[in-house]
Amino acid sequence: MNSAPRSDCFVKVLVEFAGDLDVGQWAERHGRGEVPDRTPFGLHKMADATTGVAFRVPTRNQPLRTLARKVQGRCDGWDVVGQGMRRISPSRLHADVVLCMDERAGLPAALAKVRTPVVSGIAWIDRPEPGARAAITRRALHRLDAIFSHASAHLDSLAQGWDLDRERMHLITVGIDTDHFAQADYPDDPTTVFSVGDDRFRDFPTLIRAVGQLRERRLPVNLELATTLPVAMPDEYGTVYRHRVDGVVRSPAGPDVEAGAPDPSPPDDSDEHERQTSKPATISAPTCAWPTSMRIASIRPTCCR
């Protein structure tokens, strides 16, 4: 727990990430200049006179870690095993609130909740689809004490699609650590378009068609995509990078760096259009730095309001 002067309304926040992300190892990577801050998203900066921040320590039991990863891979990335093991852990029971950055940890934490409030970001879920999975997701969303997203339109869609109370949903903006990812001059070739991501709402086909239309007008546009989603792009349009960019990303301003939290879901390597490349994607890594002004007043215990 970060040390801070105690006040009459001191809130103890326990941060839980999906999988086996180790904040201690993250700090070592920060010391080597590989990631922007000593904790993911700079979450330790939430600590002040009224807020203490602690981070879950992943299990060292290798068989359990292996089991958790296998189950995660079959459950849309949900950290089912990890959250089940931590359901009545002392660190959770002694916390005032559990904070999860996305639904991989947040939804199973909500389902496993005993008494400690759970707050989670939602990154990938949008409107419900028919089936049993939607019923489980709905129950988990309604058990969350607060929800945040980085886009207001996403919050509106979630509230309407899952019948959620908009009052407990919050817009939390994030940014880029410009000390770590320094601004760079434009490359010599200003006609290269970069697009990065694996979320299911990313419309690569439309982007590829748009590039094709520009090229038909004899505009020398080159497209570079970094995704593990199945995409079909003519070779002459550019390059598809089929590895996850959170593993190795090169900023135009500097050397190769690792960026982002690890994604537990296995890459999809079944695409017949897959093209492997040994060079890293020349894309400025969009790792977010958590704003130091971010606070959790909306989920403080009633006695502290």
Query: Quick one: three-class SS letters along 178-233?
Result: CCCCCCCCCCCCCCEEEEECCCCCCCHHHHHHHHHHHHHCCCCCEEEEECCCCCCC
* Residues 167-185, mean pLDDT to the nearest whole number: 82
Instruction: List beta partners, residue 13.
Output: 53, 97
CATH no. of 11-172: 3.40.50
Most confident stretch, 124-133, 205-214, 228-237: 205-214
State the CB neighbour count (10 A cutoff) for residue 125: 22
From-to residues of CATH 3.40.50 in the chain: 11-172
73-110 tens-digit pLDDT: 777 777 777 776 677 678 888 899 999 999 999 999 99
Alpha carbon 114 to its chain's center: 25
pTM here? 0.70
Output the CA angle 122-124-126, nearest 5 degrees: 85
pLDDT (0 to 100) of residue 58 = 80
Contact call for residues 172 and 298 (beta carbons, < 8 A): no
What distances in angstroms separate CA 75 from CA 46, 71, 107, 139, 228, one per listed residue? 31, 6, 12, 16, 18
pLDDT (0 to 100) of residue 199 = 75
**Per-residue pLDDT for 145 more than 90?**
yes
Helix axes 152-162, 132-143, angle to 10 degrees: 110
**Per-residue pLDDT for 257 more than 70?**
no
pLDDT (0 to 100) of residue 279 = 31
pLDDT (0 to 100) of residue 131 = 80
Query: If pLDDT is split at 50, 70 and 90, which confidence band does 212 have?
Result: very high
Residue 296 tokens read as: 């959790």
Contact call for residues 119 and 144 (beta carbons, < 8 A): yes
Ranges 9-13, 48-52, 123-127, 262-266: which has the least confidence: 262-266
